[in-house]
Amino acid sequence: MRTLRFLLQKEFRQIFRNKSLLPLIFFMPVVQLLVLPLAADYEVKNIHITIVDRDHSTYSQKLVSKIGASGYFRLTDYTMGFDEAFKDMEDDRSDLILEIPPGFERNLVRENQQSLFIAVNAINGVKANLGGAYLNRIIADYNKDICLEWIQTSKFNPSPSIEVTQSNWFNPSMNYRFYMVPGILALLVTMIGAYLCSLNIVREKEVGTIEQINVTPVQKYQFLLGKLIPFWVIGMAIFTIGLFGIAWPVYGIVPAGNLLLLYGYLSVYLVGILGLGLLISTYADTQQQAMSVAFFFMMIFILMSGLFTPIDSMPRWAYIIARSSPVTYFIEVMRMIVLKGNSFEHIWRHFLIMAGFAVCLNGWAIVNYRKTN
């Protein structure tokens, strides 16, 4: 125990003395939490649309102004011919083309029927899909307006319709930030923990001080604990700053669940992810190697964590990979506790799995760390 105390004292001294590390540890998460959620937002806005109006009638004007008023679209161009409009799309100035054919108003009034043409730039699938869907809804809405206008004298609604009433649970205003911020916070804690921890040990290898430690009676587990505990504390601190310094005041995210439970899970999680950092450091000989390997794992963990895309829609094999990443579980738990307010009975399985990760990764690191080679 006494040995560990000396190791910790030394480690904290070095960390707090490092002029470039400390600001990075606390400044980076703050900035990232302020900036990233704005980018990781699925609500598609500012869709550029080119409208080819070949009718120039009152009705076509009404449709155009309805599209403009929806707030999702930005009119790039208002042309007479499709070729010009297509050029906009080719030049990436436009995502959507709506063509209103000649005789739009006339056909609508006389024959009660008219078709419109929408062309979508499908390179950005999400934007194209949502843009097309929005436009369809606006047109359907417009269609309904016209119907009402024409048959308002009738007492009965002649067209049967199903009305859907929807209520949004856990995130009533469907605010994407609520969904993204806890996840991004989880990622920040993960990255800082894993990187700093593995780089720190490998640095001792590079400088040669680790050899000095290896000829002393310091036990392997003592040395690794001496590395794990400081970064565990830093991880906790970053999380707290992120949650109470940014998520709460800036985004208004108040954890719905028990804070103790949240911190309990975080503490197990940090042991696990720091174990991964330790493990990487026992294999890597240079900081460059450690960085590359850590980066490889982080990329996979982050992209497959379910932060950006639901993991249930992945193919089976990818789903298995996603399920073997500790980050996936942490992001789930973050959302379960912070947004849904789940209690221990809902997440005890997550606790078990994370404890498993922590034991395996740290055990492996201790076995693989050699004082003698």
Partner 1 sequence: MNEIVIQTDKLTKRFGDFIAANEITFDVYKGEIFGFLGANGAGKTTVMRMLCGLSKPSSGAATIAGFDIYRQTEAIKKNIGYMSQKFSLYEDLTVMENIHFFGGIYGLSGRQLKEKGEALITRLGMRNETKKMVSSLPLGWKQKLAFSVAILHDPKIVFLDEPTGGVDPITRRQFWDLIYDAVERGITAFVTTHYMDEAEYCNRISMMVDGEIKALDTPANLKKQYSADSMDEVFYGLARKAKRNL
* Residues near partner 1, by CB under 8 A: 2-3, 5-7, 9-10, 13-14, 17-18, 207-209, 211-219, 371-373
Q: Min. distance of Cβ 192 from partner 1 in angstroms?
A: 20
Measured from the CB atom, the residue of 136 and 286 that comes closer to partner 1 is 286
Measured from the CB atom, the residue of 145 and 211 that comes closer to partner 1 is 211
Phi, psi of 77 (to 5 degrees): -155, 155
CA-closest candidate to residue 325, choices 297, 295, 293? 297
Measured from the CB atom, the residue of 217 and 315 that comes closer to partner 1 is 217
Strand 73-79 and strand 117-120: the pairing is: unpaired
Measured from the CB atom, the residue of 18 and 124 that comes closer to partner 1 is 18
Are the beta carbons of 40 and 115 closer than 8 angstroms?
no
Q: Min. distance of Cβ 286 from partner 1 in angstroms?
A: 15
d(CA 14, CA 22): 10
Q: Min. distance of Cβ 24 from partner 1 in angstroms?
A: 16
Q: Where are the beta strands (DSSP E) in 23-70?
A: 47-53
Measured from the CB atom, the residue of 2 and 155 that comes closer to partner 1 is 2
Q: Min. distance of Cβ 247 from partner 1 in angstroms?
A: 34
Measured from the CB atom, the residue of 22 and 352 that comes closer to partner 1 is 22
Q: Min. distance of Cβ 225 from partner 1 in angstroms?
A: 13
92: left (phi over 0), alpha (psi -120 to 50) or beta: left
| Angle separating helix axes 2-17 and 21-39, nearest 10 degrees | 70
Measured from the CB atom, the residue of 24 and 320 that comes closer to partner 1 is 24
d(CA 187, CA 183): 6
Count, in order, helices (H) and strands (E) of the chain: 15, 4
Q: Min. distance of Cβ 214 from partner 1 in angstroms?
A: 6
CA-closest candidate to residue 102, choices 146, 60, 62? 60
At 228, list the tokens: 């794990």
Q: How many CB atoms lie within 10 A of CB 137?
A: 12
Q: How many CB atoms lie within 10 A of CB 364?
A: 15
Torsion, CA 321, CA 324, CA 326, CA 329, rounded to 10: 90
Are the beta carbons of 186 and 327 closer than 8 angstroms?
yes
Q: Min. distance of Cβ 200 from partner 1 in angstroms?
A: 12
340-318-29 Cα angle (round to 5):
50
Q: Say which amino acid occupies 360.
A: C
The per-residue b/e assignment along 296-326, b for 16 or more CB within 10 angstroms, e otherwise, is ebbeebbebbbbeeebeebeeeeeeebeebb
Measured from the CB atom, the residue of 129 and 209 that comes closer to partner 1 is 209
Helices (H), 174-309: 176-207, 209-214, 220-240, 248-251, 259-283, 287-303
Q: Min. distance of Cβ 8 from partner 1 in angstroms?
A: 11
Q: Min. distance of Cβ 218 from partner 1 in angstroms?
A: 5
Q: Min. distance of Cβ 202 from partner 1 in angstroms?
A: 15
Measured from the CB atom, the residue of 12 and 344 that comes closer to partner 1 is 12
Measured from the CB atom, the residue of 213 and 360 that comes closer to partner 1 is 213
338 secondary structure, DSSP code: I
